[in-house]
Amino acid sequence: MTQASKGTVVITGASTGMGAVYADRLARQGYDLVLVARDEDRLGRVASLVRAATDRRVEVLAADLVDPHALRRVEALLRVRADVAVLVNSAGIGSVAPLHGDDADAMDRMIALNVTALTRLCYAVAPGMAARGAGTIVNVSSIVAIATEMMNGVYGASKSYVLAFTQALQHEFGPKGLRVQAVLPGVTATGFWDTLGHALERLPASVIMSVDDLVDAALAGLAQGEQVTIPGLHEGEKWTAFDAARRELAGLFGNAAPAPRYAAPAV
């Protein structure tokens, strides 16, 4: 007999890669699912596999989140469904091209998915979760949120936004019962790299994490109460020190007078 549902998880980018593994793992934890992605056929295959393995209820919602009309449909679902316990924003676009090598329209699409869609979906789900006093939001960022020079600059900036926005969500909604987590993957063995035309074989195997290990580590971090989970960082205390230094620095900005180093030179 199927165990009672823990609630519903909405996962974007669920047709492949991290999103598909999140679907498998969270269904095994006892959640029902709503899977969102552009490719309805792939979504259907993931849904069938998850249903067969877990006997959970799995719904499929084909939507291109770059399309404002499709995005509004997903927002509407999040607003009206009181059973949504978890939102996993896994959908994203990347680029390895230098800024001068990519066109502005491609960058606009990246911002639409990585920033605008993620933001609007969080806005759609967070108030209901706060009213219920419970809920979880997982936003997939990237290590380039910190190492912004590593890849395309717009991609790095979009993932920096995801990290900062997630921290702000936690600050505002954490006291109202929400858990909010940013996940910062490094190089992960997904189709992401094929889409970029940058084969994983060109990278050292020592830096490539399997998608299963990545998601399992991210879920372990969530269970431990981490607000920021970086699966590839073994020296976790370095992130703790980095974040503490950031918070300390933030308290030093508020001065009415400019710093002495900006004083006008003597005439």
DSSP labels, 22-69: HHHHHHHTT-EEEEEES-HHHHHHHHHHHHHHH---EEEEE--TTSHH
Report the DSSP beta bridge partners of residue 140: 183
What is the helix (H) or strand (E) element at residue 88, kind and residue range?
A: strand 84-89
- Given the structure tokens 């997903």, which residue do they identify? 74
Active-site residue identified among 22, 31, 155, 161: 155
**Nearest Cα to 139, choosing from 125, 154, 153?**
125
DSSP 142-172: -GGGTSTTSS-HHHHHHHHHHHHHHHHHHHH
Q: 177 near 222, Cβ under 8 Å? A: no
Check if 155 is active-site. yes
Active centre residues (catalytic): 155
